[in-house]
A and B are shown apart, each in its own frame.
Chain A
């Protein structure tokens, strides 16, 4: 529409003013400027416990879980977080990363290929039925069913049979010794659901209409798709030492990242784990609650596709030497992170004690030291100057964009030609979900976030075994494979952990995945509440511990 010049200027000016006003209102004068300042980025290992029950708690997860079935979404944090409030496994992981009895009270290993579990008596599912060995057998066996296509099928790869050998006894027979299996029974692979409910729900298990019917501190009540999942207190919960404190626990998933942060700041939602790093300063300054940084294992790395130029270890080392990790942390995580020496954080060894875990980590090569000169020499030696390196990423995860950029810069600096490949989320997921996708797309490097939900670092380090389904770059080292096999067959936890340290040294040298950063887990908790675990790692019946401050 035609407007005289003066009027156009006036309108432009008003709009600019309005936008400026919007920008200013989002600023926060009180936020700390540097995360390394004392108090701003301190790891909190545990929070004070709650003092009593509370009527309702609202909690947010980063996105709506589309499915609650562990067979489909065991490694999906929103799904896991909700599920951990409702369902339980045979063991629990304690805050100091040891196993303690949950639905199983003891395990016996008469020979290296047999585990006999004694189950807890008198445990009831949400619908009131009592848990028996048949339920455990049904819950575990379904992960072996190829038609179910479970994402944790790998945990059962050495399992020959799972049988109910008594009303409360389950015997698992393995084809070869696998002590990691018992550790897996503390995680998603060990979740127990009612056999009858599994049968009734069929392919709809874990969907909004059916939900879950488990043994945990809360019962699934209602899932309003796109909006919230409501849980109610399980008054018949078996664990009298950990009675659930909240009467109603509601998970809310605002559709938009900033809506989520705004709701926490305004006190409309009580808490949430793993808020985006960019929002940390806003939340640190919020009056409605506190932001805590909890211990965690999560680390970001770049997976190297061994079938391309990255198959040459000199190229991988060169990129690793040239990477500006600190810069990536500042750009991608607003400074809230630390340099990774292997593709997992030091908390992976927390079961050995935090001091020992730090010691182990410090003994690994220091990746914070850059040496571009040496990197260029390695590239010259390998004779690959001017070769193209394709770096894939998905814009839907902002942290990954920063990592891809840092890798781009490093690759360029050492005389190679980096090419960025932007992929939509479904295609990007295929790089890890399908063994052939990376070669089809011609991808050399892509970012991944790795965590270790179990207490045993062997869970992480068995990833680089040649046959592992999680060995996304196709790294193959017979010596490493032998170490993994040896560790799997090692009954003693300490001896097994020692072997994983040896594995870590190899991974740090060979760089099948180029480690970049370790990120702290965050927890935002409203002032009126207390008792939330400081980290989502190895979530036990976490939701039941949250009560009034």
Chain B
């Protein structure tokens, strides 16, 4: 296990390094001058421009700029935002905690609601199953921005049960504010997870070991819990991990629609303003999170199913 983690971590660092080159290159070779934002109002004297270029190392060759960025990152300095002048690490920390809360809340909804729907679907074939299939079908087809508009219209403006924007202060207030955004983000994935759970559970329920357990007189609930779920969970986790990328992408839409200042909305604003230090940092962060999630899923897989060695974990 330890050797596995070491090997994967090295691979992770290597891919992060390669990705950093790609992200840096893409942003710097994209058309447009990052200083346009600072001088949007005017006042672009040669002296002022020179001072700003020096401040953001834009007067150095691109390799040198990349080296500055890389070496600063190792010490935790992600540079300064061109728009705000504030340290990127400060920006990311303050916005990151919000997005983390949103994503965790969303995952809880996806996993619980999705799995419940899936289990019920598999357990009660017939009208229940068919109705749930329609519901999950509609859910899967609903992108986050559509869900957001409907939820705001009905629950925030219409019924007034939830606030229309912001992330709130304090645990309960945050839960209150983030409910609609989390639901909007979760809708499409709930459908997906429900269907995967349903198939996985149906698969397991048909297996010989379940038959044997039933014959032995073990209760249905215990069968579900101990014999079925354990085997059904790995594909669910894999789906969640591989979909994590698009889930993170969905935060950009949901955070913007609900006025939540998280990494998603920060990324959107930074791209619009060509604030490349922020774009680079968030880009790298997303890739890192994704990679770590995949590693964690592999480890969890191996723990849940002793038949698998870690090298075979994701082939299942």
Contact = CB atoms under 8 A, between A and B. Distances in A.
Given A22-B153, A25-B158, A256-B256, A266 B43 contact: no
B37 A426 contact: yes
Interface stretch (A176-184, A220-228, A340-348): A220-228
Nearest to B50: A147
B36 A259 contact: no
A135 B127 CA distance: 79
B234 to A, nearest CB: 21
A147 to B, nearest CB: 4
B163 A266 contact: yes
Nearest to B41: A151
A255 B41 contact: no
Interface string A3-36: 1000100110011001101100110000000000
A14 B266 CA distance: 34
Interface residues of A, number: 59
A315 interface: no
B32 A426 contact: yes
Interface stretch (A121-129, A204-212, A523-531): A204-212
A150 B43 contact: yes
Nearest to B85: A207
Interface in A41-98: 66-67, 71-76
Given A10-B134, A11-B134, A255-B256, A71 B43 contact: yes
Tell me the interface secondary structure of chain B in the complex: helix
A378 to B, nearest CB: 34
B258 A203 contact: no
A72 B84 CA distance: 12
A224 B94 contact: yes
A201 to B, nearest CB: 10
B154 interface: yes
A146 B45 contact: yes
B261 A226 contact: yes
A427 interface: yes
B259 A255 contact: yes
A253 to B, nearest CB: 8
Contacts of A262: 152, 156-157, 164-165
A150 B158 CA distance: 47
Contact of B157 (A21, A25, A424): A25
Contacts of B37: 66, 426
- Scoring A150, A204, A254, A258 by chain B CB atoms within 10 A of each residue's CB, the highest score goes to A254
B165 A22 contact: no
Interface stretch (B16-24, B104-112, B135-143): B135-143
Interface string A441-479: 000000000000000000000000000010000000000
A268 B257 CA distance: 16
B118 to A, nearest CB: 15
A430 B36 contact: yes
Contacts of B268: 255
Interface in A395-440: 396, 424-427, 429-430, 432-434
Contacts of B146: 18-19, 22
Nearest to A261: B164
B150 interface: yes
B309 interface: no
Interface in B80-118: 83-86, 90-91, 94-95
B156 A266 contact: yes
Given A203-B85, A426-B273, A433-B40, A146 B47 contact: yes
A149 interface: yes
A140 interface: no
A179 B64 CA distance: 50
A506 interface: no
A14 B156 contact: no
B301 interface: no
A266 B157 contact: yes
A285 interface: no
B288 to A, nearest CB: 21
B38 interface: yes
A225 B158 contact: no
Contacts of B274: 426
Interface in A243-282: 252, 254-256, 258-260, 262-263, 265-266, 268
A469 B86 CA distance: 30
A263 B165 contact: yes
A105 interface: no
A265 B256 contact: no
Contacts of B265: 226, 255
A29 B108 CA distance: 39
A66 B257 CA distance: 20
A432 B272 CA distance: 19
B157 A265 contact: yes
Of A73, A227, A255, A424, chain B has the most CB atoms within 10 Å of the CB of A255
Nearest to B40: A429
B4 interface: no
A225 B91 contact: yes
Contacts of A432: 42
B89 to A, nearest CB: 12
B249 interface: no
Contacts of B243: none
A49 B133 CA distance: 60
A148 interface: yes
Nearest to A204: B85
B45 to A, nearest CB: 4
Contact of B261 (A7, A147, A255, A424): A255
B41 A75 contact: yes
A153 interface: yes
B259 A259 contact: yes
Contacts of A208: 84-86
A407 B36 CA distance: 27
A255 B272 CA distance: 13
A150 B259 CA distance: 32
A259 B164 contact: yes
A21 B154 contact: yes
Contact of A226 (B40, B45, B150, B269): B269
17 contacts: A14-B138, A22-B146, A146-B47, A151-B41, A151-B42, A153-B43, A208-B84, A226-B261, A226-B265, A252-B166, A254-B166, A255-B269, A262-B165, A427-B36, A430-B36, A433-B41, A433-B44
Sort A-B residue pairs by CB-CB distance and give the 5 closest, nearest first.
A149-B48, A226-B261, A254-B259, A207-B85, A149-B43
Interface of A: 3, 7, 10-11, 14-15, 18-19, 21-22, 25-26, 66-67, 71-76, 146-151, 153, 203-204, 207-209, 224-227, 252, 254-256, 258-260, 262-263, 265-266, 268, 396, 424-427, 429-430, 432-434, 469
